[in-house]
Amino acid sequence: MSRAAELKSNHQQAHTNSTQTAQVVNATEHMRASWRDYYELTKPRVVMLLLLTALVGMCLATSTWVEPVILVAGMLGIGLLSSAAAVINHVVDHKIDSVMARTFNRPVAKGKVSIRNALIFALALGLVGFVALAVFVNMLTAWLTLLSLVGYAVIYTMYLKRATPQNIVIGGLAGAAPPLLGWTAVTGEIHAYGLLLVLIVFTWTPPHFWALAIHREKDYAKAKIPMLPNTHGVDFTKTCIVLYTLLLCLICLLPYLTGMSGMFYLVGSSMLNAYFMYLALKLKYRASPTTAMTTFKFSILHLMVLFVVLLIDHYLPI
């Protein structure tokens, strides 16, 4: 064999070896999903914020301290059922996820966790969560939390997400439920103040999500999901963000006006809302390429601090 032919042959062999190695690595990846993959399936950071809103719902429902058993079993049950809903969302959406740049690396979309294993995981989380609520908290909370799971994993993910650009407005009700779930965990009944907290998260959801949808407009178009920026244009979506943020500013006054919260809340929430409104207006009239993502990130900080402010206000001795 000439020197050139020998080099070519070696090169081809190396290429074949590296292809085989890649296939073996892929197969091993498929078989060996780590605990991190399962953890990721539960959307942990989203669930943490949901749990914060549930905790605040619990604390605001009573003028004393929340009973430890209710606190632990309630948080565990709401957290596990929310996680189960998130896992089902990964299963139902695995094809969409594999098309979008933001989500293609997710464990089910990538094939690291099989659909069967993900469903078994979701069932286990859901069962333990439901039993924890039913046994240690109360049946009203258990059923309402299960209803929220169905709202997110079935009604939003399987149907609304693919059907209408109003998907997240209607579907947002499930994600907004936790403060009420916290409230019913403590009192066993639905109270207008619990519903007011739901209304706050419900109104916050459209600006939260649409800001991201603007930034990821091409992703959703590629996956053929009818999100508002794709169906009605980016400019119309920005107007909707401004209007929902305005509505949020007004609704956030209600806890003070109804006597649920005091002056500390009024000042804190007004500052947060003023900055949210500033970002929404900047996005509409003076956007730079980063404004949509800045607004999305701030929305998360906004809700987190808003609920911490509600909590501090509740325990302030004035």
Ligand X SMILES: CC(C)=CCC/C(C)=C/CC/C(C)=C/COP(=O)(O)OP(=O)(O)O
List contacts with ligand X (CB under 6 A): 43, 46, 50, 81-82, 85-86, 89, 93, 103, 145, 148-149, 152, 157, 174-175, 177-178
Write the burial class of residue 288 (CB in 10 Å: 0-12 exposed, 13-18 middle, 19+ buried): exposed
**Closest to 55 (Cα-Cα) out of 39, 44, 66:** 66
| Listed ranges 6-14, 18-26, 43-51, 79-87: which one lies at the site for ligand HEM (CB under 6 A) | 43-51
Helices (H), the chain: 3-31, 35-41, 44-60, 68-92, 94-99, 107-110, 115-136, 139-149, 161-163, 167-176, 178-187, 192-215, 217-222, 228-232, 234-251, 254-257, 263-285, 291-315
Angle among Cα 80, 81, 84 to the nearest 5 degrees reads 85
Encoded amino acid at 307, one letter = F
Are 214 and 232 a contacting pair, CB within 8 Å? no
Which SS3 state, helix, strand or coil, does residue 177 take? coil
Report the residue number, 136 or 237, with the smaller CB distance to ligand HEM: 237
Report the residue number, 55 or 186, with the smaller CB distance to ligand HEM: 55
- Considering CB distances under 5 to 8 angstroms, the limit depending on partner class, which of ligand X, ligand HEM, none binds residue 49? ligand HEM
**Smallest distance from the beta carbon of 99 to ligand HEM, in angstroms?**
14
Report the residue number, 214 or 303, with the smaller CB distance to ligand HEM: 303
Report the residue number, 71 or 173, with the smaller CB distance to ligand HEM: 173
Q: Which two tokens stand for residue 179?
A: 């403060």
| Residue 209 lies near ligand HEM (rule: CB under 6 A) | yes
**Smallest distance from the beta carbon of 126 to ligand X, in angstroms?**
9
Residue with tokens 């069962």: 127
Q: Which two tokens stand for residue 98?
A: 């594999």
Cβ-closest position to ligand HEM: 175
Report the residue number, 49 or 247, with the smaller CB distance to ligand HEM: 49
Among 33, 50, 75, 181, binds ligand HEM (CB under 6 A): 50
CA distances from 270 to 133, 144, 198, 274 (A): 35, 31, 18, 6
| Residue 147 lies near ligand HEM (rule: CB under 6 A) | no
Report the residue number, 144 or 309, with the smaller CB distance to ligand X: 144
Angle among Cα 297, 299, 257 to the nearest 5 degrees reads 160
| Listed ranges 2-10, 200-208, 246-254, 280-288: which one lies at the site for ligand HEM (CB under 6 A) | 200-208
Residue with tokens 């109270």: 191
- Considering CB distances under 5 to 8 angstroms, the limit depending on partner class, which of ligand HEM, ligand X, none binds residue 205? ligand HEM
| Residue 82 lies near ligand HEM (rule: CB under 6 A) | no
- Considering CB distances under 5 to 8 angstroms, the limit depending on partner class, which of ligand HEM, ligand X, none binds residue 141? none
- Considering CB distances under 5 to 8 angstroms, the limit depending on partner class, which of ligand HEM, ligand X, none binds residue 45? ligand HEM
Report the residue number, 106 or 268, with the smaller CB distance to ligand X: 106
Q: Could you give the CA distance from residue 26 to residue 23 in angstroms, rounded to a whole number?
A: 5
Q: Which residues bind ligand HEM (CB under 6 A)?
A: 45-46, 49-50, 53, 102, 156, 168, 171-172, 175-176, 201, 205, 208-209, 212, 300, 303
